[in-house]
A and B are shown apart, each in its own frame.
Chain A
Amino acid sequence: GAGVSQSPSNKVTEKGKDVELRCDPISGHTALYWYRQSLGQGLEFLIYFQGNSAPDKSGLPSDRFSAERTGGSVSTLTIQRTQQEDSAVYLCASSPGQGGEKLFFGSGTQLSVL
């Protein structure tokens, strides 16, 4: 596609429910990143994919968070048993995967946990 696409753009859920956030990277980009941006906070790295593998999961805040990537393309970030502190904008980015290159971000998913 022309850019990184994320869906849904907004998600409101009740505490304790599971949610899935989707990211469709730029075609041909092998590197994919998930970040979280909370109100008043900076961007927080969550996980990095190279192809379908996730060599760096160090930013996932708890075992309620997981992510997968299939076909070297679409990625899904899943949050189980959501908590109010999970409320944030979840941003996905992709890059060609050569290293030291620009990242291209999607518009994000605004997650609100009530």
Chain B
Amino acid sequence: KQEVTQIPAALSVPEGENLVLNCSFTDSAIYNLQWFRQDPGKGLTSLLLIQSSQREQTSGRLNASLDKSSGRSTLYIAASQPGDSATYLCAVPTGANSKLTFGKGITLSVRP
């Protein structure tokens, strides 16, 4: 059974800091990995999707990497801003129908 772990559960950093959020998964036979952002009281927004054949994806100040063999992914946020404060979740598909197994998320607070 696939398990996805995100540690720590919460993180607080000062504005401007570069930071890395970690995600680990137990079954390396994955098609892809997604990083999502969730704001309080809102649904999830997909930030980046990395296919299993890729090693990283970039979008603006965000960079996600994937190492299937070690069962790890990282989300790098450059020059963090207070608006980046949210919960970040990673997820991997289980089977071919894209049913996702989620980590519990990392709640990020960026202090002005």
Contact = CB atoms under 8 A, between A and B. Distances in A.
Interface of A: 4, 6, 31, 33, 41-43, 45, 48, 50, 55-56, 91, 93, 95, 99-108, 110
Contact of A99 (B96, B100, B103, B105): B96
A107 B98 contact: no
Contacts of A103: 34, 44, 46, 98, 100
11 contacts: A43-B44, A45-B99, A48-B97, A48-B99, A50-B97, A55-B97, A99-B97, A101-B49, A103-B98, A103-B100, A105-B44
B99 A91 contact: no
Contacts of B97: 31, 48, 50, 55-56, 99
Contacts of B42: 107-108
Contacts, number: 65
B99 A33 contact: yes
A100 B98 contact: yes
A18 to B, nearest CB: 24
A90 to B, nearest CB: 11
A contact patch SS: strand
A74 to B, nearest CB: 17
A35 B43 CA distance: 11
**Among B42, B44, B89, B93: residue with most chain A CB under 10 A:** B44
Contacts of A50: 97
Nearest to A9: B41
Contacts of A55: 97
Given A4-B43, A105-B45, A99 B102 contact: no
B32 interface: yes
A42 B103 contact: yes
B76 interface: no
B51 interface: yes
B111 interface: no
Contacts of B98: 31, 33, 48, 95, 99-101, 103
A99 B93 CA distance: 10
